[in-house]
Amino acid sequence: MTTATIPLDILSDPICPWCLIGRARLFAALEQRPGHPFAIQWHPFQLNPDMPAEGMGRAAYLEAKFGGREGAMRAYAPIVETSEEMGLGIRFDAIQRTPNTLDAHRTIHWAGLEGKQTAMVDALFDAYFRKGRDIGDHAVLADLWAGAGLEREAVERLLATDADADDIRARDAHARERGVTGVPTFVVANQSAVVGAQPTETWLSIIDDIAAQTADRAPS
């Protein structure tokens, strides 16, 4: 099996439906190429950096962002269609609040230090999109943290402080300074950006191209 030596940095927000779709498509490719070279790391990008700390009701959010239900339905139609085709089980009807995701990003960062970053990302996606849980709520975040096999008391203590909040904001700002305007954005080997929820076939092609280049460089 190939050693994971090529960084694949994923800029994402756990309330971004295209990020969930992009994750599913990427990991479908990784399952088909178990010898893939990617070492994955998730990075923060807030879709709504100015969201109040307590979040806001879903109806009010949709009104502000899309001009109401009809505008939201038009914007979300391709997402609903794609998620249904993929069997992702997204339940927009279950979502009652749109959270500020700063604290969710803090938990993703901390989970990375424990080698559980993708598990935490997946727990956040599942809680928000399939169960309608408020992932801005500290108790919910602690539940998800514990469900990922991590120590609940530790994250409760951290969430009660401002630990790493400025770092998350700085990393988000740095991404925008580098030209990132939306997510998901994938950066391969610190240089090639792959923007959007690309099809699984695109990722298979990328992995196969890397494998071919690696083979060409191998000593004969």
The 10 Å CB-count burial string (b at 16+, else e) for 4-43 is eebebbbbbbbbbbbbbbbbbbbeebbeebeebbbebebb
Tell me the two tokens of residue 182: 């939306």
For residue 216, what are the β-bridge partners? none
Residue-level pLDDT at 197: 98
The verdict on residue 49 lying in a domain is yes
User: For residues 107 and 51, what is the distance between their CA atoms, to the nearest angstrom?
Assistant: 18
User: For residues 46 and 103, what is the distance between their CA atoms, to the nearest angstrom?
Assistant: 11
The DSSP code for 213 is: H
Give the distance, in angstroms, between the CA of residue 81 and the centroid of all CA atoms in the same chain. Answer: 20
The number of distinct structural domains making up the chain is: 1
Q: Does residue 16 sit in helix, strand or coil?
A: coil
The verdict on residue 1 lying in a domain is no
Question: What is the span of the domain harbouring residue 46?
Answer: 6-217
Residue-level pLDDT at 1: 43
The CATH number covering residue 102 comes to 3.40.30.10
Q: pTM for the whole thing?
A: 0.95
Low-confidence ranges of the chain (pLDDT < 50): 1
The 10 Å CB-count burial string (b at 16+, else e) for 137-150 is beebbbbbbbebeb
Residue-level pLDDT at 60: 93
**Tokens 């770092």 — which residue?**
167
The verdict on residue 212 lying in a domain is yes
Whether the Cβ atoms of residue 105 and residue 111 lie closer than 8 Å to each other: no
Torsion (CA) 39, 40, 43, 47 in degrees, nearest 10: 150
The verdict on residue 136 lying in a domain is yes
